[in-house]
Structure 1
Amino acid sequence: MPELRIGFIGLGGMGRGLVKNLCAKGYSVTVFDLDSDKIADAVMHGATAGASAVEIAAKSDIFAVCVTTAEAVRALALGPDGALAALPKDAVFLDHTTVSVEHVDLLRDACVKAGINYAEAPMTRTPAHAERGEVNILFGGEESLLERLRPVFKTYSENIFHVGPSGHAIRLKLIHNYIAFANVASWCEGFALAAKEGLDMSKVINIISAAGGKSGMMDLYGDLTLRRDFTPHMSLENAQKDVRYYAEWLGKAGMPAFMAQSVHNTYALASIMGHGSESCTAVIKAYEDLSGVQACLKE
């Protein structure tokens, strides 16, 4: 086992599983999170608690970040007191966060100026996959950097996709997430309409799932939604953030964003109505709250 010093910031749904698997494979991992309970959980799995992101960065060969937004990554990375300034030369700033297109360009340029390697590696799949070491890694960057990171990625991934040069991974991730969340919004709207019209919801989901309306997101969350389980494996507020990044990117690319804006507005409304911390599928509650129905399976 190579004596790599790995720093890891962000122990939420995905980060927790990644750290657990890194430790299980014998890597030395120092962690930090704003939630002390999450730090304690990581320590229980073999990690070391760090005092701050900057302190951890100063002692890291690979500094991994898995937080919520591009803005959060920049806040901890940039500036004279940021983690980037503390990293040793030729270390790797490993960005697992689903960020914006502009963020990747900004962080890559900042890393180059600091003599640091920037690795964009957003992920797909769920926290349950992270726990099992089965996430998909989308990597954008040089092949040589990917090979340097591949042994680390293998501890918590099932598939490692080299998407292309730096910037391509986040572009593909945002397209993927937009399609996934647009799909959720569409079948949640359809489920709510079916409930309002008095259809048998078990027949609704079974028939849709047997035809062209079937989707991976419905397979994952359709039955849970109709059973009123809104556990936030992927929160609604995170879905809203990803669709916002996608819609902004469309506009800057000179393309119309009317469909993306509609999807974003749907999630934004559900969040304003108080469902942001629930599952992305809680978007159905916006329709239910406004129409006075509830889409659920009969007991």
Structure 2
Amino acid sequence: MVSQENSIIGFVGTGVMGNSMAKNLLAKGYRVFVYNRTKTKAEELLSLGAKWADTPKEVAEKATIIITIVGYPSDVEEIYLGENGILFHAKKGSYTIDMTTSTPSLAKKLFEEGKKRGIYVVDAPVSGGDIGAREGKLSIMVGGEEAAFQALAPVFEVLGTNIVYQGESGAGQHTKMCNQIAIASNMIGVCEAIVYAEKAGLNPDTVLKSISTGAAGSFSLSNLAPRMIKGDFEPGFYIKHFIKDMRIALEEAKFMGMNAPGLQLAENLYSRLSKLGEDESGTQALYKYYQHYSNSAI
């Protein structure tokens, strides 16, 4: 098991979730080096004691544990396997944790490359959005060698409360696809329920009191429906990234010979929102489709 005293954490990707995750590691006394393509997004962390690294290469050279949470599989591949890639510059015996929602095939590719170089690679995507990241209550789904999972337990426990080892490399990413599939159809139901309540002349806040703790209860109903009602569409998780996740899941489902009509419908609706300029909004902005855009010709 890795010890805090001997661990230097490199953190790549200080966006909506990464910022809070790195902040929690600093609060627990870890030494943290951060890299982000836009340095201004890391300023709060630097003010709290994090050190800046100019490239992923510098992160890899300084850290014993490297955490990445970026946007797209292409970003992951560049960060790990590009010219300044982490796997070409990390120390032998170090650990890398990719917490980006990415493809299972890429997770396996990184694992194999790391193994050649004596570097432990785990895929550990997360769920819980900005709230879970801020409160250190993320669900963490881990794939890779079980020994690496056990060694990294103290780090995972700073970031989340539901931490499950899912199996070999890629299993974490497959589990995250299950998570996103469940959320996708659920978000449609949540939006339709709130709009229905409004059209029926009900107080949607009062409706939520009745339905959020019953059989209909879900994270989206409890945490995102109140944002919809308030007109708060700031991102806890970007629509553009959710579309990316749904498309990965659809590709994986197709590869396995599985039909996923609910997921296909959700991807279609969110893609319409994307065309209307909502990429940077939170996933709860699907509510806007029902409120304003449902009669759109697109």
TM-based fold match above 0.5: yes
Q: Does the 8 Å contact 1:98/1:170 carry over to 2?
A: yes
Alignment CA distance shift 1:23-1:248 (3 Å): same
Select the residue among 163, 166, 169 that pairs with 1:160: 163
| Matching of residue 105 in structure 1 with residue 104 in structure 2 | no
Q: Does the 8 Å contact 1:24/1:46 carry over to 2?
A: no
| Matching of residue 275 in structure 1 with residue 278 in structure 2 | yes
Structure 1 residues 24-33 or 149-158, which shifts more?
149-158
The aligned length equals 292
TM-score (norm 1): 0.90
Identity among equivalent pairs (%): 29
Instruction: State how 1:255-270 maps to structure 2 within 5 Å.
Output: 255-270=258-273
Match of 2:10 in 1: 7
User: Which residue type is aligned with residue 112 of structure 2?
Assistant: D
Match of 1:17 in 2: 20
Match of 1:238 in 2: 241
Q: Does the 8 Å contact 2:19/2:42 carry over to 1?
A: no
Match of 1:297 in 2: none
Q: 1: CA distance between counterparts of 2:217 and 2:133?
A: 25
Q: 2: CA distance between counterparts of 1:79 and 1:69?
A: 14
Structure 1 residues 132-141 or 185-194, which shifts more?
185-194
Match of 1:170 in 2: 173
| Matching of residue 247 in structure 1 with residue 256 in structure 2 | no
Q: 2: CA distance between counterparts of 1:35 and 1:88?
A: 26
Q: 1: CA distance between counterparts of 2:219 and 2:82?
A: 41
The CA RMSD over aligned residues, in Å, is 2.1
| Matching of residue 200 in structure 1 with residue 202 in structure 2 | yes
Q: Which 5+ residue runs of structure 1 have no aligned equivalent?
A: 293-299
Alignment CA distance shift 1:133-1:211 (3 Å): closer
- TM-fit CA distance, 1:204: 4.8
Q: 2: CA distance between counterparts of 1:53 and 1:210?
A: 44
Q: 2: CA distance between counterparts of 1:250 and 1:149?
A: 30
Structure 1 residues 141-150 or 276-285, which shifts more?
141-150
Q: 2: CA distance between counterparts of 1:102 and 1:143?
A: 19
TM-score (norm 2): 0.90
User: Which residue type is aligned with residue 97 of structure 2?
Assistant: L
- TM-fit CA distance, 1:222: 1.1
Q: 1: CA distance between counterparts of 2:202 and 2:222?
A: 18
Cα deviations across residues 204-261 of structure 1 (Å, max 9, x unaligned)? 5455436543322101111221121112111222221211111111001111133221
Instruction: State how 1:76-225 maps to structure 2 within 5 Å.
Output: 76-193=79-196, 195=198, 197-202=199-204, 204-209=207-212, 211-225=214-228
| Matching of residue 47 in structure 1 with residue 50 in structure 2 | yes
Q: Which 5+ residue runs of structure 2 have no aligned equivalent?
A: none
Q: Does the 8 Å contact 2:55/2:84 carry over to 1?
A: no
User: Which residue type is aligned with residue 159 of structure 2?
Assistant: Y
User: Which residue type is aligned with residue 55 of structure 1?
Assistant: E
User: Which residue type is aligned with residue 202 of structure 2?
Assistant: D
